[in-house]
């Protein structure tokens, strides 16, 4: 068993200054014709670093019905799942995939791949 030791480098701390988002969770109704509502998780903004979409993602995007729109990096948050929606720049995006990892300096981060989320129904916030 190998134990990794990370040497924290203060000059290489991640910058999350490309934008911010509000986090919502998807609430599904239990009615005959189910629908989804969005409920705000908290009032504070989350800050992120914008990542570029790779050529393979862009190529796969042409074959999918779900359209991948953005990829962002945040400080690690294991509470965010595919049942969450992010509100960025007046647009709603559903979490398509989230990947948790430690970077080369030992800092815990999460990469989030986002897809379109059209016509959201917002529920009154309980916060």
- The model's pLDDT over 46-89, given as tens digits with 9 standing for 90+, comes to 999 999 876 556 556 666 666 888 999 999 999 999 999 999 99
- Count CB atoms within 10 A of the CB of residue 57: 13
- The model's pLDDT over 107-122, given as tens digits with 9 standing for 90+, comes to 999 999 999 998 888 8
pLDDT attached to residue 2: 61
pLDDT attached to residue 59: 56
Write down the H helix ranges in the chain.
55-61
- The model's pLDDT over 23-53, given as tens digits with 9 standing for 90+, comes to 999 998 888 888 889 999 988 999 999 998 7
Among 18, 16, 10, residue whose Cα is nearest residue 110 = 16
pTM (2 decimals)? Answer: 0.81
pLDDT attached to residue 15: 86
pLDDT attached to residue 57: 60
Residue 18 has pLDDT above 90, yes or no: yes
Spell out the domains of the chain, with CATH numbers in brackets.
15-116 (2.40.10.270)
């Amino acid at each position: 068993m190998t134990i990794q030791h990370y040497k924290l480098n203060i000059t290489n701390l991640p910058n999350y200054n490309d934008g911010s988002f509000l986090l919502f969770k998807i609430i599904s109704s239990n009615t005959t014709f189910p629908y989804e509502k969005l409920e705000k998780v908290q009032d504070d903004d989350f800050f992120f670093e914008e990542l570029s979409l790779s050529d393979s993602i862009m190529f796969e995007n042409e074959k999918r019905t779900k359209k991948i729109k953005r990829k962002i990096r945040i400080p690690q948050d294991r509470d965010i799942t595919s049942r969450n929606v992010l509100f960025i720049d007046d647009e709603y995006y559903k979490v398509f995939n989230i990947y948790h990892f430690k970077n080369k300096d030992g800092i815990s981060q999460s990469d989030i791949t986002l897809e379109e989320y059209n016509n959201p129904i917002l529920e009154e916030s309980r916060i």
